[in-house]
Structure 1
Amino acid sequence: MKVLNKEELLTAEGVLRKHFPKSLKVHGALCGMNRDKPNALEVVVDTWPDFKVIIFRPDPKSKKALEVTYYSKDEEILRKMLTEENVIDWSTYFMIGGFDFSHASMLKEVSSDMDVNNRSYMLGHVMYLPDTSHLLSPEVDSELESRISSLNLSHVDLVNKNWKFGGNKKYRNIADLISNFPSCCITDSQGQPVSWILVYDYYAMGLLYTLPEHRGKGYAKVLIRAMAKRLHAEGFPVYCFIEEENTVSYKLFKGMGFTEDPSYRAAWFEFNF
């Protein structure tokens, strides 16, 4: 096992581009690290430079991060790293997020061997836009154009209370995202957001929401297009995760030109809860 330094992280970012869509989440997280975005992660690989497994884990010097993310081309090497090389502290609560669901059985076996409980938190589609020329372009009149802006910290409470996974524990997380990552919103005549989209710290689009009284006006399409074009222009992959049961959002992104690998699902599991 090897912990990557700053120069090696830059090299790994390029390698991971070759393995989309399965490597999108770790690549996005690496993009943030390599651009000095705040993080509390440490990156380890099985070998260097020809790694088969790359794992983003909470930095042992920080208690802030709780989520583990990985990309693996070899399940047996991944199993060995999780069980024999102390990559994860199995004595604490943590989540493995955005992993290939085909690894679910192995992760359950490993956690059972460690005498650690586990449960599924989310299963979702990975929607991505390989080519922005395929992006649907909704009509935007000058009046609506003037109402497109970015979120600020005064909007944290509004976003938090309208997010399915929100709550007191997530309040600071939303503040961090608004402060450090791209966001886009449409405001009303008083300048208050009525529809918005954010970007997670792994550069996936998310938290898309329109207040009920403002729905049916195409705001979500306008925001998706604006954010997708911005991310692409800045050199980031354009993608998002959509919960398996969220057919409305799935159809929305599919209609906007996003695609997926039908054989691949991303999952989130909690451990030691």
Structure 2
Amino acid sequence: MKTLNTEELQIAEGVLLKHLPKSFKVYGFLYAMNRNKPNTLEVVVDTWPDFKVIICRPDPKNKHAIEFMKKVTYYSMDEQILRRMLTEENAVDWSTYFLIGGCDFSHAPMFREMSSARGVNNRLYTLVHLMYLPDCSTLPPSAVDSELESRMSPLNDSHVELVNKMWKFGGNKQGYRNIQNLISNFPSCCITDGQGQPVSWILVYDYCALGILYTLPEHRGKGYAKLLVSAMAKKLHAQGFPVYCFIEEENLVSHRLFTNLGFTEDPSYRAAWFEFNF
């Protein structure tokens, strides 16, 4: 197992680009890291340069890593090598809580088997669609009037508390730190009311996926979500970012919205988040 240095991370990004869409989440992390976005991760591979498994995990040398949930993600071209790295090569710390996110749901039996062997509890946290936009030309032309355009802007630090409060996975100090980090370092967009307060917003996660899309209930039905997704997708595409998202299986409204905007998915593939030692 090898930890990648700065130059190798750039090479690995290029390799993962050839394995989209399944490699999107690790590719997104590397894309951000290679453009000097702050992170608390280290990246390991089974071998170099012809790797079959690449894993992003908390960097034990990063003093800020403890401030964020212990998140692990990976892309694997060989399940047996992945199994070996997770069981024999200490690719994850089985003694503490951690979350493996955005991974191939077909690996669920392997996770259950490994957890059982170690006496570690695990559960499926959420099952999602991995959706991506192959062609930005499918997005509808902008039909924003000047009044609405004047109410569109990036989020800022004064909005962190509101976004965290409304975020399904937030509402606590850790969520606050996550939202603050995303607003400070990644693209975001919101629509404000007459008092300048956000009523609808979208952010970009540290793995470059669109997310945390939300509209206050009293402002729904006005097309704000469609407008924000379209605007952010165009902005990300223009800046070279990948344009993709994860949508929970039960979120039919969002799945329909993104599908109507031209996002697509591999129908045979599902991504999932798994918790361990919870």
Question: Considering the TM-score relative to the shorter chain, is it more than 0.5?
Answer: yes
Contact kept? 1:123, 1:268, Cα under 8 Å = yes
Q: How does 1:1-273 map to 2 (within 5 A)?
A: 1-62=1-62, 63-64=65-66, 65=68, 66-137=70-141, 139-168=143-172, 169-273=174-278
**Which residue identity lines up with residue 78 of structure 2 in the other structure?**
D
**Which residue identity lines up with residue 179 of structure 1 in the other structure?**
S
**Which residue identity lines up with residue 240 of structure 1 in the other structure?**
C
Contact kept? 1:97, 1:269, Cα under 8 Å = yes
5+ unaligned residues in a row in structure 1: which ranges? none
**Which residue identity lines up with residue 4 of structure 1 in the other structure?**
L
Segments of 4+ moved more than 6 angstroms: none
The number of residues matched between the two structures is 273
Taking structure 1 as the reference length, the TM-score comes to 0.98
Contact kept? 1:41, 1:59, Cα under 8 Å = yes
The 3-state SS of whatever aligns with 1:197 is: strand
1:146 offset after TM fit, Å? 1.2
1:138 offset after TM fit, Å? 5.1
The 3-state SS of whatever aligns with 2:47 is: coil
Query: Structure 2 CA distance, aligned partners of 1:204 and 1:195?
Result: 18
The 3-state SS of whatever aligns with 1:87 is: coil
Contact kept? 1:135, 1:258, Cα under 8 Å = no
**Which residue identity lines up with residue 254 of structure 1 in the other structure?**
T
The 3-state SS of whatever aligns with 2:18 is: helix
**Which residue identity lines up with residue 140 of structure 2 in the other structure?**
L
Query: Structure 2 CA distance, aligned partners of 1:266 and 1:173?
Result: 22
1:199 offset after TM fit, Å? 0.4
Deviation digits for residues 30-77 of structure 1 (CA, Å, limit 9, x no counterpart): 011111111111100011111100000111223435000000010000
Question: Over aligned residue pairs, what C-alpha RMSD do you find?
Answer: 0.9
1:211 offset after TM fit, Å? 0.8
Which one is further off, 133-142 or 261-270?
133-142
Query: Structure 1 CA distance, aligned partners of 2:198 and 2:249?
Result: 27
Contact kept? 1:95, 1:271, Cα under 8 Å = yes
Taking structure 2 as the reference length, the TM-score comes to 0.96
Contact kept? 1:111, 1:118, Cα under 8 Å = yes
Deviation digits for residues 141-200 of structure 1 (CA, Å, limit 9, x no counterpart): 111111110100110111011111112131111111111111000111111111000000
Query: Structure 1 CA distance, aligned partners of 2:12 and 2:206?
Result: 18
Q: Percent identity?
A: 75
Deviation digits for residues 192-243 of structure 1 (CA, Å, limit 9, x no counterpart): 1110000000000000011111111111111001110111111111000000
**Which residue identity lines up with residue 105 of structure 2 in the other structure?**
F
1:136 offset after TM fit, Å? 2.7
